[in-house]
Structure 1
């Protein structure tokens, strides 16, 4: 601060004037302690003080009028209130979750909301240790948000939300847990044909699979008959005798290029999708009984129902059961949705892109069924963790009282 001063022969005591404070200011210990409790301003907002001399030039003053007006015009934003999630208004359908919340009182200063969600298999409040981390959605402007394209591979999802203004964020709401029921399964690699290379939920044809296994067995037979390399032990470790999730189940063999899911269906409504290579020489998808033989091909016995793609000579799509087939007059999709209602004995196939119905089997399942797939010279992948689409449910209700046109295949 720069200023000029004049010499006065008889200095007068310092005195206060309106809107001004004389310098220097001497403060007591109490005043210094009180000042230490005041708000410290950021460097960008520090006061810009201007020196001012009295008319008689007998003392100097610092005018705070402008700065005081600036301080009085500052509005401090309060911490936003804690939102409340309304479980009754939240919706879970079509693998989407809509979360709805409100504030205790309207607040025009709210700039946005932050929503966090986490998958869990436990109902109730979050636990100290969870297998899944919190996922964050920022910049939400409304008091609701919809998560789309979620794969429901856990039984529940937990949500919490907090409000933010331009200065500070409030506290998170009480977390709520929503049920996310869907059909989840994996492919049982131990049951698959040797020519099928199974990785998680994808399958690729491997023409050398069976040959490699036979060559390995022959190499083992040529080794010394030690306890570690005896023919008996080699047979036990053969892929044909690999442990299976289904007791007494051997691998599919011969021309049954099949692999099953690892989860049975014995109740309820379920839905899954399969994407396949349309250039595959042959492909099939459907369900099968546990009693399906290791030599049985899908659709050629009374223990399986499927849709079958044939690309050998002429491309065709057929519905097969008990060695009977019906050609389907429709375009061949690259992705099929499969719906199974166990109690009603309904098995329907859809073009999963537009949910157009391709075919429906109506029967009465006498035993639990398992998702089943077949591929020859091709590949496919399965998507699980899906809820039954609402458009499929509404279509099934409309057709529940109509007679089936597929009686010859049931």
Structure 2
């Protein structure tokens, strides 16, 4: 196309140049004729004047200027070089572009929160068979209602959802609520987000209280491990500080009054002696709660249960009337037993890989399960008169906790049937250690 235009331009330019040259020649001839006619006016002889007149007539008759056209031989019309888009225009006019999908509507009634999983269901306001997939976004929050601007976490994205329902499983409920929103997408574009919906995801979240744990325990958030050098290193640090501050003459104030070890969180003393214990940092005062514990494979001895805040610093779990636990001993001989108030009930079941702990504070029930199979291991029936704390004892090994869990549906079902059973706590009262 460009070559054709250039060739056309060159042709027309040449024609115009030729026409311009002809006009210039005609103009020169006309000027000469005019000059000759002017000189002829000065001729006095009649014969000479007549002769000049005939010459002028002949030259005018033969002059090219009177035969030339001043209209350009070429025009600026380029219509013959225009591209015909009529066929393409017709094709474009027949195209049907996909409209932007409308925002879906999340149905809170159809949404379900159970077993640390959230099922979100939604629908389109009107049928749209052009929808290709959906995008679900969620984030955790501690605020009810509409999402807030400040202190909000980023949205997590789940793309390419083909249906109008999606289940997020294996979640840790470490916030009170979760926000959800969804948008529809076709092959061309994504639509607007739905109105956000807030679902409650309440569960017991706690960490281990390092400030009151035994010095021979190395505690980190939800993990505890036996450390035989912990007490010695702490003791050497304390002695070093005392030696630095000791003078030749003892202070009367220090000799006259007794000293008390610094209190940990909640103004309680650190566990000591053979009470290799650590408690949770969150008290249970009402409701039903669940958490899981996993022991290291080479752990020699450990206990899992609950205790009142008043558990003494020398007290071991299960040996007082303020604590309840199940105890696993892999040292010298293997034993698996439930303990309370210094009484023991041997359990004729295999020690599971993970132990699930269910505490119904209002119902006065503490049950232990195989976390994998949800088999009931043992259950205490009592009446809690004070808030209880999750309690753990470990010797030569370590424990890891899984918190932020809802009470599993299987456990709730087992609780209904278990409540019809009798003798769990009373049988323990009849058995001595």
The number of aligned residues is: 362
User: For residues 343-378 of structure 1, what are the alpha-carbon distances to aligned partners after superposition, in whole Å with 9 as ceiling and x for unaligned?
Assistant: 211110011111111111111112221100000010
Which whole-Å CA distance do the structure 1 matches of 2:211 and 2:278 have between them? 9
Q: Say whether the 8 Å CA contact 1:277–1:334 is kept in structure 2.
A: no
2:177 to 152, 156, 172: 156
Tell me, in whole angstroms, the C-alpha distance in 1 between the residues paired with 2:265 and 2:223.
18
Q: TM-score, normalised by structure 1?
A: 0.82
Q: Secondary structure at the match of 1:88?
A: coil
Q: Which structure has more helix as a fraction of its residues?
A: 2
- CA shift, 1:13, in A, is 10
Larger deviation: 216-225 or 364-373? 216-225
Greater mean alpha carbon deviation, residues 70-79 or residues 169-178: 70-79
Separation of aligned partners in 2, 1:313 and 1:138: 54
Shift of 1:339: 0.1
Task: Tell me whether 160-169 or 388-397 shows the greater mean CA deviation.
Answer: 160-169
Map 1:6-405 to 2 at 5 A.
23-24=78-79, 59=80, 62-225=83-246, 241-247=261-267, 249-405=268-424
1:172-222 CA-to-partner distances (Å, cap 9, x unmatched) read 111111111111111111110000011111111110011112212222232
Q: Normalising by structure 2, what TM-score?
A: 0.78
105-114 or 399-408: bigger deviation: 399-408
* Cα deviations by residue, 1:295-319 (Å, 9 ceiling, x for unpaired): 1111111111111010111122111
> What is the distance in 1 between the residues matched to 2:379 and 2:99?
60
2:30 counterpart residue number: none
Does the CA contact (< 8 Å) of 2:263 and 2:270 recur in 1?
no
Change (3 A) 1:231 1:262: farther
Larger Rg, first or second structure (1 or 2) = 2
Give the deviation of 1:406 after TM superposition: 4.1
Q: Give the secondary-structure state (helix, strand or coil) at the position aligned to 1:264.
A: coil
Deviation, structure 1 residue 245: 2.5
* Residues 378-410 of structure 1: CA deviation (Å, up to 9, x unaligned): 001111110000000011012212223442325
Alpha-carbon distance between aligned partners in 1 of 2:82 and 2:212, rounded to the nearest angstrom? 94
Q: In 1, distance between residues paired with 2:253 and 2:117?
A: 53
- Does the CA contact (< 8 Å) of 1:271 and 1:387 recur in 2? yes
Q: Decide whether the 8 Å contact of 2:261 with 2:269 is kept in 1.
A: yes
- Which stretches of structure 1, 4 residues or more, deviate above 4 A after TM superposition? 2-7, 10-14, 230-233
Distance in structure 2 (CA, Å) of the matches to 1:23 and 1:265: 90
1-structure distance, mates of 2:253, 2:334: 45
Q: Specify every segment of 5 or more residues in structure 2 that has no aligned partner in the other structure, as ranges.
A: 12-71
Q: 1:81 and 1:188 mapped to 2: Cα distance?
A: 51
Tell me which residue corresponds to 2:40.
none
Contact 2:326 2:337 in 1 (8 A): yes
Distance 2:292 2:168 in 1: 20
For the aligned residue pairs, the C-alpha RMSD in angstroms reads 2.7
* Distance (Å, rounded) in 1 between the aligned partners of 2:418 and 2:389: 24
Label 1:379 to 1:91 Cα distance change in 2 as closer, same or farther (>3 A). same
1:225–1:231 Cα contact (<8 Å) kept: no
**SS state at 2:373 partner:** coil
C-alpha displacement of 1:74: 2.1
